[in-house]
Amino acid sequence: METTNYGFVGIGRMGAHMAHRLLKAGFSVTVFDTSTDAVEDLVGKGAQPASSAAEVASATETVMLSLPTPDIVEAVSLNAKGVIEGSKVKQVFDCSTTGPAVARVVAAALAKKNIVYLDCPVSGGIAGARNGTLAVMVSGERKIYDQHEPALKELGKLFFVGDKPGQGQIMKLANNLLAAAALVLSSEAVVMGVKAGLDPAQMLDVINSGSGRNSATQDKFPRAVLTRGFDFGFATGLSYKDVRLCLAEADNLGVPMPAGAVVMQMLAITKARFGADSDFTSIARVVEEWAGVEIKG
């Protein structure tokens, strides 16, 4: 029987859109967030409110999480008034980017309460969450995944990547490392061209018609760098966190990542210069300052 009731904890910039998509598809959704405004907004769209993660987990058998950092995921899952204290919950889909280590810790703790944990990180940004075009990377118990496929399909394109806790997280970290690396190298290449007198918009056209095209030149630069908005929608601090988690897991697995270490360093510099809340396209601003030029559309 298809499950129609879901809980959603963490309805920020990504989670709010994901929860709303479930509502529009006809699912019943109970929501909790530390932001009362976020809760009230979704209640106005048909959601049921809850006063804690535990209350969400007492209202439904299936809880989804969309939270910003690993420590928050662990606390919301396992601390007092957390998901683990819910009386009804049977499975948790974690759409956050926690890294595999925390995923395994949370999975093991929830298992002691007979609650199944599945990684469910997503990629595609705010637009993907709003439009239901996210890449959804799931790992965990296949039977549970199959049961909830109708709801997950409302979020985007599904990929079942493995049956062990943490495997979805590794897939997400690999993706986010590449996204950040593309932004770093594209910034260096375009700034070099601008200083030599090339037109940056034309540079992007050439690159995107050739072998150098990537997610930064195709999407991030036109939308957030040429416009000088630096507002693509992903925080520098979160990108730094993801790359740091990726390098930590690579080290744990014995995989050297010297280029990844440079990407992390560039994000650290950007975070120090413009703040953790700055958009990660601000990497381009760092390179601009060093070179003494600006990329202008």
Instruction: List, by residue number, the catalytic residues.
Output: 172
- Residues 224 and 216: their CA atoms lie apart, in Å, by 10
Q: By three-state DSSP, how is residue 48 classified?
A: strand
Supply the DSSP string of 113-168, one letter for each residue.
TT-EEEE--EESHHHHHHHT-EEEEEES-HHHHHHTHHHHTTTEEEEEEESSTTHH
Could you tell me how many residues make up the chain? 297
Q: Which whole-number Å values give the CA distances from 39 to 93, 121, 294, in the listed order?
A: 20, 22, 41
User: HSE (CB half, 13 Å, CA atoms) of 197?
Assistant: 0
Beta strands in the chain (DSSP E): 5-9, 28-32, 48-49, 62-65, 91-94, 116-119, 122-123, 134-139, 156-162
